[in-house]
Amino acid sequence: MKLHLKIWRQPGKDHPGKFEAYGLEGLNPNMSFLEMMDVLNDRLTREGKEPVAFEHDCREGICGSCAMAINGEPHGPNDGATTCQVYLRSFKDGETLTVEPWRARAFPVLKDLVTDRSAFDRVMQAGGFISVNTGQAPDANAMPIGKEVAEQAFDAAHCIGCGACVAACRNGSAMLFVAAKVSHLGLLPQGQPERKQRVQRMVEAMDAAGFGNCSNQYACEAVCPKKISADWIARMNRDYALSVAQKL
């Protein structure tokens, strides 16, 4: 099959960028989208041009590295999938695809399709943990945790930190990402002692990193490759409000 690509090229952080057009022919529909990028990059290399920088690693939808918007949709057209899990059979022969990096104030572009997502790490460092040093833990079965609670905690904890939620949000909000971690730990009994300060610290760090506020459009939930529910945002807001109220 044949595809026309319009890809964002930007040489560096402080350089202006622009779209470049490339045409690819003879593609196999069973190829993954990233394998198509490999083919393009090998071709560019042979032509003596610089290949397109893009992030990718596990290529099985779990590391959260790949971060591209295809035709304006973070991670492309597939439901519950990352960019690396998109296969060319999802597109029409001869289609034109626009490929861009995440667009968000808190994620500056470093080069081409590579953005700096370290803001997520800073939010996690502020409170995304349970303070337990190695070696102090009681027996794992000492505290039963209901199956349902454990399953819910997993649902929230399954977030891969890719940032699609931020890229999809018109405010560049990271509420879904932060709420998922706050809820994962806040649901479990082990997370209770630090529950209040955790939500406060993480929300503060989120605001400081330049993420916008939630305006209840749920675009984040719609593009999330792990289908993290926007309900967690409501839960985080409740936790946050309670923790602030109790401080007063």
Which stretch in 60-68, 170-178, 206-214, 231-239 sits in contact with another protein by CB under 8 A?
Answer: 60-68
Task: Pick one of 64, 76, 212, 225: the residue that binds another protein (CB under 8 A).
Answer: 64
Beta strands at 114-115 and 109-111: parallel, antiparallel or unpaired: antiparallel
Q: Which of 1, 24, 31, 222 forms a contact with another protein (CB under 8 A)?
A: 31
Nearer to another protein, 34 or 214 (CB): 34
Cβ pair 127, 194 in contact under 8 A: yes
Structure tokens, 38: 């490999």
Determine if 213 is a binding residue for another protein (CB under 8 A). no
CA–CA dist 141, 191 (Å, integer):
16
Q: Does 158 help bind another protein (rule: CB under 8 A)? A: yes
Closest CA to 155 of 231, 222, 211, 82: 231
Q: State which of positions 95-154 bind another protein (CB under 8 A).
A: 110-111, 114, 116-118, 120-121, 124-141, 143-147, 150-151, 153-154
Stretch that binds another protein, among 16-24, 91-99, 158-166, 171-179 (CB under 8 A): 158-166
As measured in angstroms, the least distance from the Cβ of 9 to another protein is: 13
Shortest Cβ distance from residue 53 to another protein (Å)? Answer: 6
1 binds another protein (CB under 8 A): no
Binding segment (CB under 8 A) for another protein, from list 68-76, 78-86, 209-217, 229-237: 78-86
> Which of these segments, 1-9, 165-173, 184-192, 210-218, binds another protein (CB under 8 A)?
184-192
The residue from 16, 18, 25, 48 that contacts another protein (CB under 8 A) is 48
CA separation, residue 183 to residues 5, 188, 202, 222 (Å): 39, 9, 12, 19
CB 36 within 8 A of CB 54: no
Q: Which is nearer to another protein, 46 or 170 (CB)?
A: 46
Give the DSSP H/E element, type plus range, for residue 4.
Answer: strand 3-9
Q: Is 16 in the site for another protein (CB under 8 A)?
A: no
Q: Least distance in Å: CB of 171 to another protein? A: 23
Residue pair 90/80 in contact by the 8 Å Cβ criterion: no
CB of 247 to another protein, least distance (A): 21
Which of 81, 168, 74, 65 lies closest to 117 in space, CA to CA?
Answer: 65
Closest Cα to residue 110, out of 98, 122, 121, 118? 118
Nearer to another protein, 80 or 215 (CB): 80
Q: Does 20 bind another protein (CB under 8 A)?
A: no
Signed CA dihedral, 24, 26, 29, 32: sign only? negative
Helices of type H across 132-194: 147-157, 164-168, 175-187
